[in-house]
Amino acid sequence: MPNSKQSTKCVKRDEVRRIQNKSTTTAMKTAIRHVLSAETPEAAKEALPMAMKRVDKAAKKNLIHANAAARVKSQLSRATN
């Protein structure tokens, strides 16, 4: 339980940030799954730019490390070729 007015604000702000971060992370993972589970190579290539965009946004917001983002993008591009 927050003891001060300031800590109450921090709790509210942290909850909002947690929800936003969860949304971004979920969108990224869903986009990755669309690429990896595509039925045809053409469908995978169509879904690839959106997945790359979502991974870049997650890295920009420090939800994943920049090197992890580069690794995921490399794996996705290898999977579509």
Structural domains counted in the chain: 1
| DSSP line for 41-66 | HHHHHHHHHHHHHHHHHHHHTTSS-H
pLDDT digits 0-9 by tens, 35-79 = 999 999 999 999 999 999 999 999 999 999 999 999 999 999 999
Count the Cβ atoms, other than its own, within 10 Å of residue 9. Answer: 11
pLDDT band at 29 (very low <50, low <70, confident <90, very high): very high
Range of the domain at 24: 5-80
- pTM score: 0.85
pLDDT band at 81 (very low <50, low <70, confident <90, very high): confident
Q: Which CATH number is 47's domain given?
A: 1.20.58.110
pLDDT digits 0-9 by tens, 7-27 = 999 999 999 999 999 999 999
